[in-house]
Amino acid sequence: MILGICESPEILRVFMVIKVIIKIIKIIVPILLLVSAALTFTKAVANGENKKAMQSVIRKCIAALVIFMVPTLIGIISNLTSGGYSGALNCIKNASTENINKIIVADAEKYVEVVKKSKSRADLYNARVAVQKIDDADKYNYYEKQLNEVETEIVREEASKYQQTIGDFVSTDAGWWWPVGSKETTSIDGKLFAKGSPSATRLTAYFGGNDSVHQGLGGGHGAIDIGAGRGSNVIASKSGTVIYPTRGARIDYPDSYIKPDANGKYNCRGLIANYVIIDHGNGMKTQYSHLYKNTILVKAGDHVEQGQVIGLSGSSGCSTGPHLHFQMELNGKRVDPLKYVSNSNPRP
């Protein structure tokens, strides 16, 4: 029982607060007692009550010493014994940010290993939640990369069920660009552009796909999902006029990870949260969804150039992890974006 508590980051954070309180008590209370003893002694001497003054001073000094020694005694007890209440004392002693981070990383590694073997969407969700808690950027990226590789395998298996593969699609319009830009950007006339090689081209869901995620949404997927990690530059696939977000529209939805039910299906209302819609003329519109909170750089009425950064990718709304939901509509009807854009030839 105690060991389980000691392995919980949330409980250890409580123990850290307790440690701080103990340290404050250790320092402040003895000082107050000593000050009180000095005042009592001074007052008693002034009244000619030397014996009484000394007794009071001795009592308060002993109390101050005992309080000051409490944390030390706790450490000694936790070192000499194990289990029971002493185990809890040991948890308090060892509660630290370093230990909490170690537990979080170990927990994430455990979930990553599980999903590697199971190739389950449910386990992928649990692993992403665990990895999301890691503060160390290098470790986060290390495990996130592994999860992306696992997700690619899952997607390939799901794609084979409706016989769609990356190789089946060839761009029919050389004018469109892949909607995820490079990490490198440049500013031209006050506008931010990312025109280099895309930072992400991995597909995590296909147009029309009926994978386990979209079955929970009623079946079918009217867009493609691109496995862009959190904070990737999302660019305008072609020049056009922004028609959303409108003035006052909410763009601060936080990142979230939807959880599968007992049958492994995902059920949510399809909230796309932070998104941008661009009208390109001739009946064509593009939509870029699940963007990271407060990163949208454009608003309705703005003219955007091809390759211009319009926001950063995230996992806001109904999402299983960081990605870009890229949707195209022709005369009000959704069309397969892979008929227009290609990850093998992103800048035709």
Report d(CA 284, CA 306) in Å as an integer: 14
**pLDDT score, position 314:** 94
- pLDDT at res. 221: 77
pLDDT exceeds cutoff 80 at 135? yes
| Mean pLDDT for the stretch of residues 240-247 | 92
Q: Which residue has the higher pLDDT, 184 or 157?
A: 184
Q: What average pLDDT score do residues 178-192 get?
A: 89
pLDDT at 182 over 70: yes
Q: 284-289 and 324-330: which strand pairing?
A: antiparallel
Q: Choose between 172 and 278: higher pLDDT.
A: 278
Q: Is the pLDDT of residue 174 over 60?
A: no
> What CATH fold (topology level) applies to the domain 168-348?
Glucose Permease (Domain IIA) (2.70.70)
**Helix axes of 97-118 and 121-132: crossing angle, nearest 10 degrees:** 160
**Angle at 121 (CA atoms; ends 116, 126), nearest 5 degrees:** 75
- Between the two ends of the chain, the Cα-to-Cα distance in Å is 61
User: Tokens 């990383």 identify what position?
Assistant: 105
Query: Rounded CA gap, 30 and 19, in Å?
Result: 17
| More confident: 340 or 258 | 340
Asked whether the predicted pLDDT for residue 327 surpasses 90, the reply is: yes
